Amino acid sequence: MSMNRKKILKFLLTFFVIITLNFCLPRLMPGDPFFFLSSEQGDITATYSDEEIQRLKAYYGLDRPLLIQYIQYIVSLARGDLGYSIYFGNEVRTIIKNRIPWSISLVLLSVIIGGFMGTSLGCLSAWMRDRMPDKILYSALVLVSEIPPFIIGILFLFYLAADWNLFPLSGGMTPFADSWSWTHRFFDIVHHGFLPALTLAVVHMGGFFLIARNSMITVINKDYITTARAKGLSSGRIIFRHALPNAALPVVTRMFNNLGQAVGGTILVENVFKYPGLGLLMRQAVLVRDYPLIQGIFLTVTLFVLIMNLAADIIYKKLDPRIL
């Protein structure tokens, strides 16, 4: 069996497991979607008669055997139908389409900032290997990378937003700002999104730092770097002009992998800052046991992770043809 065929079968098997878990997990949670329709916090505040509950279950197909529900779910996915939200009363596809730009922009911005800062510090640390700055940077970034993102977000929220009043406490933009010009709205959105993006960027910095440092340590021992030093070139030019391009392969791969991994951290960070992305939407859907919406968000997130991992694999092979 060829390598490409094995990868296709592996991808199909992974996708099958994902959609199966996507169907099963919401139904394994305690509670019922029709007991949570009137409360954002998930309290049982709506009371329905048995006849009304049976009618609602029949309308959404939840009164049928699980196998029939699973087959109908597969058929609907094949048609591109993610279902209809029980709580929000709208198509799941439309709801996700309105929320996903907030999450994607947050992920991209955080990975770019974290990648740039972590890679730059990793290069400098490798250049000053075993000196005091290297030891301080290494210890600090390894420590930070082990802290959960929501804790970092809470610290930023307490000090930079609540105490120093530098940033908004929550939300994605100022309410009732429709009359503003597009420039004011743009900077307002950036102002609201800076702390969530900074939180995720700090979390990503440690990984980029370690990858860049290890890769640079290997490169700076090469003969052409020794020749560049002998020519009297500045340290900055040697690092960023000669060494970094040859050490960038693992960093690029890490960036695409982080785009997928960042989605998980984004879900937590969005809830800390009440940022209107998929993470906050996921929490709302879980609280009210909105099965179709939970399934749609989970499928969107996992597909994004798979696509980013596939992109990392493809780009890695393009940059290094020796990889089969």
214 vs 125: CA distance, rounded Å:
10
Q: Is residue 88 part of a domain?
A: no
pLDDT in tens, 35-48: 655 444 444 445 56
Are 311 and 270 part of one and the same domain? yes
pLDDT at 47: 56
Alpha helices in 86-238 (DSSP H): 92-127, 132-145, 149-156, 182-219, 223-230, 235-237
**273 is in which domain, residue-wise?**
98-319
Q: Are residues 114 and 177 in the same domain?
A: yes
Q: Is residue 179 part of a domain?
A: yes
Domain limit, last residue, from 21, 43, 78: 78
Do the domain assignments include residue 256? yes
Same domain, 130 and 199: yes
C-alpha to C-alpha distance for 259 and 73, rounded to whole angstroms: 28
Q: Which two tokens stand for residue 159?
A: 């000090």
Q: What's the whole-number average pLDDT of the chain?
A: 83
- CATH number for 229: 1.10.3720.10
% residues pLDDT > 70 (the chain): 91
Q: Give the predicted TM-score (pTM) of the model.
A: 0.82
pLDDT for 166-179, tens place per residue? 999 888 888 876 66
Amino acid at position 108, single letter = L
pLDDT > 90 in the chain, percent: 24
Residue where one domain finishes, among candidates 16, 46, 78: 78
Residue 291 counted as domain residue: yes
- Do 107 and 64 lie in one domain? The reply is no
pLDDT of residue 229: 77
Tell me, yes or no, whether 61 lies in a domain: yes
Residue 90 falls inside a structural domain: no
Between 38 and 111, the more confident residue is 111
Give 247-286 pLDDT, tens digit per residue: 777 787 777 777 777 777 788 899 999 999 999 999 888 8
Q: Of the residues 49, 78, 107, which one is the last residue of a structural domain?
A: 78
Total count of domains within the chain: 2
| φ, ψ for residue 236, nearest 5 deg | -60, -40
Same domain, 181 and 225: yes
Q: Do residue 72 and residue 160 come from a single domain?
A: no
Q: Does residue 324 fall inside a structural domain?
A: no
CA distance 283 to 287: 6
Residues 314 and 194 in one domain: yes
Query: At how many degrees (to 10) do helices 278-287 and 244-273 cross?
Result: 40
Q: What is the pLDDT of residue 231?
A: 80
Together in a domain, 46 and 152: no
Q: Are residues 279 and 131 in the same domain?
A: yes
104, pLDDT greater than 80: yes
**pLDDT, tens digit (0-9, with 9 covering 90-100), for 146-173:** 888 889 999 999 999 988 989 998 888 8
CB within 8 Å of 315: residues ≥ 6 apart: 252, 253, 256
pLDDT of residue 48: 63
Q: Do 105 and 209 sit in the same domain of this protein?
A: yes
232 plus 277 within the same structural domain: yes
Q: In sequence order, what are the residues at sequence separation of 6 or more whose Cβ sits closer than 8 angstroms to the Cβ of residue 266?
A: 103, 106, 107, 110, 196, 200, 277, 278, 279
Asked if residue 207 belongs to a domain, the reply is yes
Hey, what amino acid is at 78? Answer: A
Per-residue confidence band for 97, with pLDDT thresholds at 50, 70 and 90: very high
Together in a domain, 245 and 106 = yes
How much is the average pLDDT of 214-240?
Answer: 79
pLDDT tens readout for residues 122-150? 888 988 888 898 999 999 988 888 888 88
